[in-house]
């Protein structure tokens, strides 16, 4: 039985701020400028109706955002609400699921990093409250320290807020255009939900040695489309990358298994590379439509030499193959069924489009 997956509404930017300090000045200007640029922005008093329980909606909004703009102001650290949001934001940032842009508004970033002055006083009050969970306070402190270690903007270095807002919104706008996902797999229904779930598994910020993941699904077309979409959307995070397609077909063409090794080296960034050149590199290798363990083994010698942070993704319709290759548990993304939207033009005698849907939508995370 598959897990239920909730598709979260998407935002480009989530604003984390202390309202009493910034709602009527910086945040007001920043929000208006972001919206003017058609950047989808979540600001709590704009998106949530009065009386709603805010926490679940906020968590969903944070998880569904590409950027988090965190505005640290004079009274920011006095707010448990702001700090709870920050813990969630930094947890996602650590997994590579969100990009964080700090703004230090009327405060010195070094004071925030060292937690001295006003920040120290505010944390002392938190710790002095009855029934206060001290472990939670510790998580707030760590999140704030991690935030302050990220390069951000400091209002004390700008002549006025408007120029700082212009620069920040321009930067976000440019980064959104660069990071806009390629839509080659957009005919797959629920592709964004699949992509987000797979990103969680991959943890692109990991510095571990090479990790191998599997994508299992019935139906070669859907599986290949999903694998290609994943590859196109994460390959920019790697020094070298390669998509080996239709491995099953290649091996049916009377080619030797060693040819896979040659194909990989030739296709990696479009040039012939030696194993020694890849040894210390962060590499992405996606091997599509693997049908035999021998095909996996033929490439294992290569990817075992990849550098820290490297990822190998194997796609197959054979679950036993993944088990035999020791790719199990959370390292496998199971797609029970996929659904395609396909627009086909009828014959030249009929000018209307037909929408054909294949109702194949359940998947496990």
Query: Could you give phi then psi for residue 136, rounded to 5 degrees?
Result: -65, -45
Tell me the C-alpha to C-alpha distance, in Å, between residue 17 and each of 85, 96, 315, 334: 9, 22, 42, 38
Sign of CA dihedral 66, 71, 77, 79: negative
Other CB atoms within 10 A of residue 333 CB: 23
Nearest to 2 by CA among 222, 211, 194, 195: 194
Nearest to 95 by CA among 134, 63, 57: 63
DSSP letter, residue 211: E
Q: 150 in helix, strand or coil?
A: coil
Sign of CA dihedral 330, 2, 317, 229: negative
Other CB atoms within 10 A of residue 363 CB: 20
∠ CA 261-215-92, nearest 5°, is: 110
Residues with catalytic function: 85
Beta strand spans in the chain (E): 11-16, 41-42, 65-72, 99-104, 153-154, 211-217, 240-244, 283-287, 311-316, 332-335, 341-345, 353-357
């Amino acid at each position: 039985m598959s897990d239920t997956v909730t598709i979260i509404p998407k935002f480009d930017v989530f604003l984390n701020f202390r309202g009493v300090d910034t709602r009527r000045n910086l945040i007001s200007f920043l929000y208006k400028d972001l919206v003017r640029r058609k950047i989808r922005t979540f600001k709590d008093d704009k998106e949530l109706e009065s009386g709603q329980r805010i926490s679940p909606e906020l968590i969903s909004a944070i998880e569904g955002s590409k950027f988090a703009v965190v505005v640290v102001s004079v009274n920011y650290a006095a707010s448990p609400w702001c700090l709870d949001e920050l813990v969630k934001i930094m947890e996602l940032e650590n997994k590579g699921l969100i990009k964080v842009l700090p703004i230090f508004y009327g405060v010195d970033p070094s004071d925030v990093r060292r937690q001295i002055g006003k920040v120290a006083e505010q944390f002392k009050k938190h710790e002095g409250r009855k029934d206060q969970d001290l472990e939670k306070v510790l998580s707030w402190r760590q999140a704030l320290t991690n935030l302050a270690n990220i390069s951000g903007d400091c209002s004390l270095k700008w002549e006025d807020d408007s120029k700082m807002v212009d620069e920040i919104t321009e930067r976000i706008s440019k980064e959104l255009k660069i990071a806009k996902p390629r839509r080659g797999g957009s005919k797959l229904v629920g592709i964004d939900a699949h992509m987000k779930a797979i990103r969680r598994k991959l943890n692109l910020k990991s510095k571990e040695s090479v990790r191998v993941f599997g994508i299992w699904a019935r139906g070669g077309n859907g599986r290949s489309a999903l694998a290609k979409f994943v590859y196109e959307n994460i390959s920019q995070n790697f020094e070298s990358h390669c998509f080996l397609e239709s491995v099953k077909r290649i091996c049916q063409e009377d080619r030797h298994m060693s040819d896979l090794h040659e194909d990989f080296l030739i296709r990696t960034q479009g040039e012939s590379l030696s194993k020694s050149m890849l040894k210390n590199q962060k590499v992405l290798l996606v091997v599509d439509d693997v049908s035999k363990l021998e095909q996996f083994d033929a490439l294992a010698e290569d990817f075992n030499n990849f550098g820290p942070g490297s990822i190998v993704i194997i796609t197959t319709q054979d679950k036993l193959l993944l088990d035999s290759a020791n790719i199990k548990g959370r390292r496998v993304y199971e797609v029970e069924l996929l659904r395609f939207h396909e627009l086909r033009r009828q014959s030249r005698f009929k000018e209307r489009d037909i929408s054909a849907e294949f109702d194949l939508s359940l998947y496990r995370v």
